A and B are shown apart, each in its own frame.
Chain A
Amino acid sequence: MENTIKVERAILNLTQDDLSKRIGVSRQTINSIEANRYVPSTVLALKLSELFKKPVNDFFKLGDND
């Protein structure tokens, strides 16, 4: 799974810490998601979608190995 959360975060001018507080996770979790080390749950993906005001498909894409 690949994502463009870093880009979306930059558009909203949010730091990892700001984003983590907005969706109720730790900063390290945001870092892991951005580095594609961790695939978030549907709940977290929908929280991000609500915050970015975009569908989940816009910032999460299936990778070659998925």
Chain B
Amino acid sequence: MNTKKIMECERKRLNKITNFRLPHTFWAIGIAVVALSIIMIFVRAFVMEGDTEWLKVVLQKGLLVGMLLMSISKDKEEDELIIKIRMQSYAFAFVVGVAYALIMPYVEFGVSNVVNSGGEAYKDLGGFQVLSFMLLVQLMCFHTLKRYR
């Protein structure tokens, strides 16, 4: 196989991966998973007793998986305008997410020091916080742009 053929093959494969979308039914499944996770987060916080830290981690992952399913499932009428809007929303969410990850720890540090009158340690954001924020921004941006298209 010559270099040109290898490049063509790689380009096709990469295009296939980047254009991958789940069928529209996964949108409803995503909503159900997100709703169930949110309900269970409240149940765990206010009803359950004992060591349920493992459940918190599972529910956080569930929330992320649900939002990801919503994010990568096709629209009812997936046409070129929707694809463009989706790409715009991903680009916006990425930039806002990076800015959030850079700025938010300092905001949290400053606020907690003011509220607790000093002595608070600096903490970086966790993966869940950044990823859930990015997915939330992407979904909100996508649906706002879609509404105003």
Contact = CB atoms under 8 A, between A and B. Distances in A.
Given A32-B81, A38-B149, 15 more contacts: A24-B79, A25-B77, A25-B79, A25-B80, A25-B81, A26-B77, A26-B79, A26-B82, A29-B80, A29-B81, A29-B149, A32-B149, A37-B149, A38-B81, A38-B84
A55 interface: no
A41 B83 CA distance: 12
27 contacts: A24-B79, A25-B77, A25-B79, A25-B80, A25-B81, A26-B77, A26-B79, A26-B81, A26-B82, A28-B81, A28-B149, A29-B79, A29-B80, A29-B81, A29-B82, A29-B149, A31-B149, A32-B81, A32-B149, A37-B149, A38-B81, A38-B84, A38-B149, A40-B80, A41-B80, A43-B80, A44-B80
Interface size bucket, A side?
Answer: 10 to 19
Interface in A13-35: 24-26, 28-29, 31-32
Contacts of B77: 25-26
Contacts of B149: 28-29, 31-32, 37-38
Nearest to A28: B149
